[in-house]
Amino acid sequence: MDLNYSPDEMAFRDEVRGWLRSNLPDDLRAKMEGYQELSKDDLLRWHKILAKKGWVAPDWPKEWGGTDWNVVQRYIWEEECGFAATPMVVPFGVRMCAPVLLQFGTDAQKKKFLPRIYQGEDFWCQGYSEPGSGSDLASLKTRAVRQGDQYVVTGQKIWTTMAQHADWIFCLVRTDGTTGKRQDGISFLLIDMHTPGITVRPIVLLDGSKEVNEVFFDEVKVPVENLVHEEGKGWTVASTSWATSAWAPAASGPPSASWVS
């Protein structure tokens, strides 16, 4: 097996390296190299630079803005980003919610959310963990009761990274507590964080940072059209977000030091 890069792959590496050298702002590079915290504006600035180039979501299908790079090119891209000390692309929208929508979303959901995720117009967070559940996510208690054309959501999420900045949260909720298998009663909802009834409270970590939060839902009204896939099949949907983000740093827990606080 020939493990050497081909001439085309070496040319691609040179292209990526040159572009990063020319387009990564000096102040962002300095913050990354100095292990300084990045603000929401810092993260979005880099996101939008990548989006303008067409490189913010390499793994997406080309029709939605993906690059159509092969496995080697994707590896080279990640490696060169590491060498250049670029900020990470916050995974919640691009690498967690988007793959779910691409696989399970309706055409209307894709058209509404994917372009905004790609351009960095909406900031997303993940609503999975709950107090008292630990690693047993299937024991979650946040409920969504359907009333006509909307769900009414009541409950609490915890350790929600960047919730203080989020415009939207993708959330696992319990829509049916009567089934024998707990996973079968869980649904996947997209919730506008500006909806009345949502309260975000920071959790101060040992170093004084506030990257993670508690999120409270007090009879929050969510349109039924924001249900992804089928009611009660949220566990299947969430499995996609886990699989696509498994390698993303701090994607589902407390963030690294370079994340926003």
Class of domain 122-234 as given by CATH: mainly beta
pTM listed for this prediction: 0.89
Q: What are phi and psi of 21, to 5 degrees?
A: -60, -35
Give the model confidence (pLDDT) of 61-118 as tens digits: 999 999 999 999 999 999 999 999 999 999 999 999 999 999 999 999 999 999 999 9
H or E stretch including 71?
helix 71-84
Q: What are the boundaries of each domain within the chain?
A: 7-89, 122-234
251 phi-psi bin (left φ>0, alpha ψ -120 to 50, beta other): alpha
Write out pLDDT tens, residues 222-256.
999 999 999 999 999 998 777 666 434 333 333 33
Which whole-number Å values give the CA distances from 63 to 71, 114, 175, in the listed order?
18, 11, 34
Q: In whole angstroms, how far apart are CA 159 and each of 200, 203, 238?
A: 11, 8, 17
What is the length of the chain?
A: 261
